[in-house]
Structures are given as structure tokens and as C-alpha cells.
Structure 1
Amino acid sequence: MERTVLPSWIQQAPPKWGIPASGKLSADEYKVICSIHLVVTLIRVWGYENEEGPQSWPFQMLLNFLDLVHSIHVLFLRETSTKLWAYYKVQILKYLRTVLELFPDVTLALNHHLAVHIVNDLEYLGPGHARSTPVFERINHRLQEIKKNGHQGKHALECTFQYTDDPR
């Protein structure tokens, strides 16, 4: 990560993102880690053929992760088209099929199902950046910082609905 040169418009991920002291990652930090840093790292760790060749489990895991990265990349673009919708759908379905092959005991979650329907969002609502909500993410983060003990107090309702810089 230290040697990776990122364009100026991409936010650097925290250097020690895997430890609790680094705190929660933002959506942008997850995006950078998963689409850049993990790609480089996993190719170095899992990408070289071993005695089993390209059929090895780590290599298949790498290919599966890259299918996910390819599909998500379409969602980050600032434009969309019928070709991109089709590409996204092929990649996300390939990713999900391979998840089930690699992990036969896993049951797909609702998010996996919804990921297939993002094609409809791209078609009817346009590129993902047009409906991105970083402002709301910051507000949610501030709301999570509010100290609370689970009991309703005299001003609990007012504190919930009034956004202030004082996270009491």
C-alpha cells in the first residue's frame, strides 16, 4: 500500500485498516481497499500457479474476487449503457455462481439477490454516482457517535432529530 501511487482524486485508505484501532472504514475507503489494494495483494499471494495449476483453490478464489471487482467497477463509472448493464449482469452472476461452487455450504443472502437487480437501477436511474449519498453517510456516522444508554430521557427525542456538532 505504501508503494502504490494513487491518482490525486482517490482517497488513500488508512495504512493499518485491518486493526480495531484504525476505526470504521468509510464506503470510499472500502472501495479503494477492495478495488485497488486487495487486487494487487491477492494477485501477488494467490495469482501464481502452484503444483495444482490454475485449478488450485486460491487461484479460483482470486478469479472469483476479480469477477466481483469487475462487476462493482461498472457501478463506479460515471456513464452507463446497455453494454455496461449486460457486462455487469454477466460478471455478478458469474461471481455468485462461483461463490456457490467454492463454498457449497453457503446460502446466498438478500444482498446477493439485490445485486442482480442493480441492473434495473442502472437502466432507470443512471450511473451510481448520481445517487451516491456520502453526505448521509457522514450524518449517520455522527449519529452513531452520540452517547446513549438505551433509555429514553427528557431530551432523547430532541437529541435524535437535531443534528449538532456536539455528539453527547
Structure 2
Amino acid sequence: LKAVQDDAKRMDLPSWVTPAPSSLGTGGLGKLTADQWKAVCSINLVVTLVRIWGNADEKGRQYLMLSNFMDLVTAVKLGCKRVLELDTVRLYEEHMLRYLQGLTTIYAPYQLLPYQHLAMHFGENLQRFGPTHATRCFVYERENLRLQKTVTNQKFGK
């Protein structure tokens, strides 16, 4: 994580991007927000892992792990586009399938979790309901954070 922190210090992000916490990976940080997770996974880890593992042997474990992670990032980016074409949905399904297959081979004997199985059906939802920007959970994540910060003594009315 030191490499991720060092790379983050050298990054200039656009003002609309919520940066990853500078103390990422240290104790006492608390929970990351949805926007912070998005920055860590789609910006910070991509930059650092490509820098560290990008020139590794293509048959080696590190390169396979990088390719697997990039399939996940690509699938998420495609699934979150504001404008969707049928080809975009097909690309999402292709990258997600390759990511899940990679999990079971690179990290064998890994067993897929139910939410990972559901990710394979997300393409159907994109075809039926269109882009996710109107229904994604960032609003609810922020509300959960607000509720978690509410001081309560567990006594109604006091």
C-alpha cells in the first residue's frame, strides 16, 4: 500500500474526483465512502498496479492478477456509463465473465459468491432498464454515512 500512497501523492486529480484518503491502509482510517472506493479502485490501484506489474511476464502470476483486476475495472466502467449501446452491454458481459473465470483459476480453489454470480445477470438489467446513473447507490451510501454519524443512546425520545 506504500506504493499506492506514494503514487497518490504525485497525482493531480480533477476537482470533481473524490480522492482516496492519504492514509489509505493505515489503522484508524475508518470506512471508505463509495466515492473513495471508486477512486481507489479505478484510479489509484490501476496506476500503481500497472506501474509495478505491467511489464511482468505475461504468463506470470502478477501479470495475470493485473489483467484480472483490469477486467473488473473495465466491466464496472462499462456498466456505469451514462449512455449505453448494445455493444457496450456485450463488452460488460465479456469482461465480467473473464474476470470471474480469472478468479477461479488464478486464485484456485476460489468459490464464487452469490453477488459475483449476480454480476453476470447485470447485463440483462442494463438491456432492460438502461444506464444505472439514476438508480445507483451513491445517494443511499451517503445517507447511510449520515445515519452512522448520528449520536444515539438507544433510548427513544431522549
| Residue 95 (str. 1) matches residue 99 (str. 2) | yes
**Hey, what does 2:126 align to over in structure 1?**
122
**Hey, what does 2:43 align to over in structure 1?**
36
Residues 148 and 8 (structure 1 numbering): CA distance in 2 closer, same or farther, change over 3 Å? closer
Aligned partner of residue 55 in structure 1, secondary structure: coil
What percent identity do the matched residue pairs reach? 37
Hey, which bits of structure 1, 4+ residues long, moved more than 6 A? none
Q: How many residues are treated as equivalent by the alignment? A: 151
**Hey, what does 1:113 align to over in structure 2?**
117
**Hey, what does 1:164 align to over in structure 2?**
none
Contact preservation (8 Å) 2:78, 2:88: yes
In 2, Cα distance between the equivalents of 1:8 and 1:88?
28
Unpaired runs of 5+ in structure 2?
A: 1-7
In 2, Cα distance between the equivalents of 1:128 and 1:18?
30
What TM-score do you get using the length of structure 1 for normalisation? Answer: 0.82
What TM-score do you get using the length of structure 2 for normalisation? Answer: 0.86
| Residue 27 (str. 1) matches residue 34 (str. 2) | yes
Q: Deviations over 1:32-74 (max 9, x none)?
A: 110111001001122222xxx2111011100100011110111
Contact preservation (8 Å) 1:17, 1:25: no
CA shift at 1:147, angstroms? 5.2
**Structure showing greater relative contact order (alpha-carbon pairs closer than 8 Å, 6 or more residues apart):** 2
State the one-letter code of the partner of 2:17: I
In 2, Cα distance between the equivalents of 1:19 and 1:148?
28
Larger radius of gyration: 1
